[in-house]
Amino acid sequence: MSEFVEREDTAVYETDEPVLYRVENGVAIVTMCRSRYNNVQNSQMTYALDDCFQRAINDDAVKVIVLGATGKHFSAGHDIGTPGRDVTKSFERKHLLWDHTNKPGGEFLYVREQEVYLNMCRRWRDMPKPTIAMVQGGCIAGGLMLAWVCDLIVASEDAFFQDPVVRMGIPGVEYFAHAFEMHPRIAKEFLFLGERMPASRAFELGMVNRIVPRDELEAQTLEIAQRVAEQPRMGLALTKQAVNHIEDLQGKRTGMEAAFAWHHFAHVHNEQVSGDKLGGFDGKAMAARNKAQAKEKGGDQ
Ligand code: ZN
């Protein structure tokens, strides 16, 4: 087998900005705006998010960063099927990793997912300024990763959280924080069933800080951000570092390393068994199941 492979780049390049950036009274507001695809994340969006975060860190006037999204849903995960899916495109990497695009077998995803998922999320989680996720609608799979890297999560009443990745034969998303975000027993239920967890349940578990009406989501989140922004910069940075360090002492970082390796064992296993790294996952079938489930429970999704 050759050390290199040719892959056709079939992505349709999107010219609209996938992420918007603005600053209001010391708060940077980073907004995902690929809402026509429920804000699923392609690499273009991931690197755009990173650029916005970098900009916010570099700006001394910015004290707090808010991450939100336009449209009905915060994020339906990683892009596994829009015309703008750009996994075969090479971007200027943010970590000391080699290019994944022309690599065979498991190397392709192993390198790419370290760069754009695991390392990017860990880098965002450790940003020295406080971050607040502002979540409405679906926060699914890769969407969880974006919310979980934030220090606080404010959710609207219609928000729900879901990791259906076990359906692909894979033990959850690449940033495996599940057993830190919720009790391990609940984390298992969340993963085994892969069902939607409503905001109210996420709040009970301490995964979400506040639940607010949908039409007050931005105003209430910005109000909290303003109050955090009144604290001294060093006080905030050191407090964040202290809490994150304690989580790491509890095994968050090393646990994630192991889960990432198992995640990739699953990708390779899938490829060997079915020829598809995602195990023949059918996103449309899942959406239909979700709809039926929500209908049973009287929801409108
Ligand atoms: Zn993966």
99-119 per-position pLDDT tens digit: 999 999 999 999 999 999 999
Question: From ligand 1's centre to the CA of 264, what distance in Å?
Answer: 7
C-alpha to C-alpha distance for 190 and 140, rounded to whole angstroms: 12
Question: From ligand 1's centre to the CA of 228, what distance in Å?
Answer: 34
12-52 per-position pLDDT tens digit: 877 788 999 999 999 999 999 999 999 999 999 999 999 99
> 197 CB contacts (<8 Å, ≥6 apart)?
160, 161, 162, 190
Question: From ligand 1's centre to the CA of 235, what distance in Å?
Answer: 36
The residue among 22, 15, 299 whose CA lies nearest residue 159 is 299
Element of type H or E holding 23: strand 19-24
Q: How many CB atoms lie within 10 A of CB 82?
A: 16
pLDDT score, position 1: 59
Question: From ligand 1's centre to the CA of 274, what distance in Å?
Answer: 16
Q: How many CB atoms lie within 10 A of CB 210?
A: 16
Question: At 165, phi and psi to the nearest 5?
Answer: -70, -20
pLDDT bucket at 298, cuts 50 / 70 / 90: low
With a cut of 50, say whether residue 300 has pLDDT above it.
Answer: no
Map out the domains of the chain with their CATH numbers.
Answer: 19-296 (3.90.226.10)
With a cut of 50, say whether residue 301 has pLDDT above it.
Answer: no
pLDDT bucket at 192, cuts 50 / 70 / 90: very high
pLDDT score, position 158: 98
125 vs 295 pLDDT, higher one: 125
SS3 184: helix
Give the single-character DSSP code of 14. Answer: P
Which tokens belong to 88?
A: 């075969």
C-alpha to C-alpha distance for 278 and 274, rounded to whole angstroms: 9
Question: From ligand 1's centre to the CA of 140, what distance in Å?
Answer: 14
pLDDT bucket at 285, cuts 50 / 70 / 90: confident
Looking at every residue in the chain, the average pLDDT score rounds to 94
CB 140 within 8 A of CB 287: no
> 99 CB contacts (<8 Å, ≥6 apart)?
90, 93, 111
Question: From ligand 1's centre to the CA of 188, what distance in Å?
Answer: 19
45-87 per-position pLDDT tens digit: 999 999 999 999 999 999 999 999 999 999 999 999 999 999 9
Question: From ligand 1's centre to the CA of 141, what distance in Å?
Answer: 10
pLDDT score, position 114: 98
pLDDT score, position 59: 98
Question: From ligand 1's centre to the CA of 214, what distance in Å?
Answer: 31
201-245 per-position pLDDT tens digit: 999 999 999 999 999 999 999 999 999 999 999 999 999 999 999
pLDDT score, position 76: 97
With a cut of 90, say whether residue 124 has pLDDT above it.
Answer: yes
275 vs 246 pLDDT, higher one: 246
pLDDT score, position 279: 86
Report the share of the chain in percent with pLDDT over 70: 96
Please tell me whether the overall predicted TM-score, pTM, comes out greater than 0.85 for this model.
yes
Q: How far is CA 102 from CA 23, 55, 90, 99, in A?
A: 39, 31, 9, 8
Question: From ligand 1's centre to the CA of 114, what distance in Å?
Answer: 9
With a cut of 80, say whether residue 289 has pLDDT above it.
Answer: no
